[in-house]
Structure 1
């Protein structure tokens, strides 16, 4: 091929394509192809035991609309996601503001609050499973102050709250670090000018801190919402969806249908529903950014 063809512009273009090729190939193989296969499986009834794979069209989607248990799973998912997102983001922001102060011991406490993030999820959940039993460590601690604690994971009013708290403690450190990085990027002269103008700490936080770190709030919100909709290991280890169906979130219900009841076609249909919910909530948050994220209006 003549050197006249390989102009500087074409060489730069080829180099660009080569740089993005690994990421593009990974996305195609591990994201787009599996998504296509899940949709394809949702149009079939796949019986592994009988070794049959039958095309059923939209029957699985009709079954989805008629499923009486789906509403309970969606309610449990909504309750878990709302509780997790509100507690995680608010606590992470509070910790970040406190640990952003120039005080002794802040590095130690940053490490303490972040350390659960790097702990194995299964190991973390198993330990909390023992702590939250009727005769576990939490109730033993409460007994020292004269309080008779419940069996946290077996009560309909406490099981979901216990799972949310365990997950918040596990991951709050990640959002805390992101908020810390954002807070340290806020120019100090803005606070100095606000102090000269007589603005209170509360007014400075609402009018300076929150707008300046709003892009990070958007990022952490999207990450936390998506993560809350994909929770599985915590439910499987702590409650197995019980008591009753009070903690049967959508992912755990999907697991039951596909791998316990062997309804793989219907499980794939639930996966499509989960993908649609995640995509919708992410798009809604992304579109709403123009109304409250700094520099996005």
Structure 2
């Protein structure tokens, strides 16, 4: 009689660890807290990384690629032209007036926006009745549709519009605001200032409310008047917010498009044609996508240089950087 040998390992040997259990029966080791935390972090930053890749890095690469080509959409041709588009940049007779208009608009917007926003914040930084109503009133244009806001102002600024109607009541003959060079640029600046001043006002208001009352009281005890208190105490303490709003406003001023497109279409002439609108004209109206890409590179370089310069200057006038 043949004795059959069992293939099952001895239980005692398995318990002693001399025989390895079946790998299929092993339990997967749970992730540590650090590993779970890292995975969660990657999941949370993934949308932002994908967004930057899809809407920033890839478009920048395509702009560089298109800048050395000439793309004729109607003819269906895509030709390599090398540095020809960049050479056109230095021979374009309209580029200098466009850059001048861009500079005038940016300087006017930054100055009027920041001054008005700080003035409103100082006026509304007090405990009084109806302060919440006034804060909401001045901030409300920020949440209004940009195109709708601009269209309404376009009607008001017409030759027979509401602004001139009000001026006629006091015996003043108003100009055709959107059809004369100086007034057209002033109109575009004012419309943009009123649209976004509420955002900077809220930022300044938050900064003013964060100024320590003890420092202000000590300055008053030392004999500081309201002007000295504001210029020597308040402004230095809110300088980080001033820097932030300055950067945001100047970058936004270089990207303005809808106001010019709706109000003036760059006219009269090219007096209100800023760089972004000129880029749009060259690429999408005239079909010069290669030259439009070069203008986009110029715009990117201007924004980058201004941002770097402002960031370096922070060491001289932002108080916590000293």
1:214-233 pair list within 5 angstroms: 214-233=239-258
2:20 corresponds to: none
TM-score by length of 2: 0.89
1:97 counterpart (110, 122, 141) = 122
Does residue 236 (structure 1) correspond to residue 253 (structure 2)? The answer is no
1:174 corresponds to: 199
Q: Could you tell me how far 1:19 is from its partner in structure 2? A: 2.5
- Unaligned runs of 5+ residues in structure 2 are 1-26
1:115 corresponds to: 140
2:49 corresponds to: 24
What's the secondary structure of 1:46's corresponding residue? Answer: strand
Does residue 33 (structure 1) correspond to residue 58 (structure 2)? The answer is yes
Q: Could you tell me how far 1:154 is from its partner in structure 2? A: 0.6
Q: Could you tell me how far 1:7 is from its partner in structure 2? A: 5.6
Q: Distance in 2 between matches of 1:149 and 1:18?
A: 58
Does residue 249 (structure 1) correspond to residue 278 (structure 2)? The answer is no
Does residue 43 (structure 1) correspond to residue 51 (structure 2)? The answer is no
1:194-233 pair list within 5 angstroms: 194-233=219-258
1:137 corresponds to: 162
What is the aligned residue count? 296
Does residue 152 (structure 1) correspond to residue 177 (structure 2)? The answer is yes
Does residue 275 (structure 1) correspond to residue 300 (structure 2)? The answer is yes
Task: Please give the per-residue CA displacement for 1:15-50, whole angstroms capped at 9, x wherever unaligned.
Answer: 333332221111111111111111111111000000
1:54 corresponds to: 79
Structure with greater Cα Rg: 2
Runs of 4+ aligned structure 1 residues displaced above 3 Å come to: 1-4, 6-15
Q: 1:174 to 1:3 in 2, by over 3 A?
A: same
Does residue 64 (structure 1) correspond to residue 89 (structure 2)? The answer is yes
Q: Distance in 2 between matches of 1:146 and 1:291?
A: 50
- Unaligned runs of 5+ residues in structure 1 are none
Query: Does 1 or 2 have the higher relative contact order (CA < 8 Å, sep 6+)?
Result: 1
2:21 corresponds to: none
Q: Distance in 2 between matches of 1:3 and 1:206?
A: 63
- The alignment yields a C-alpha RMSD, in angstroms, of 1.5
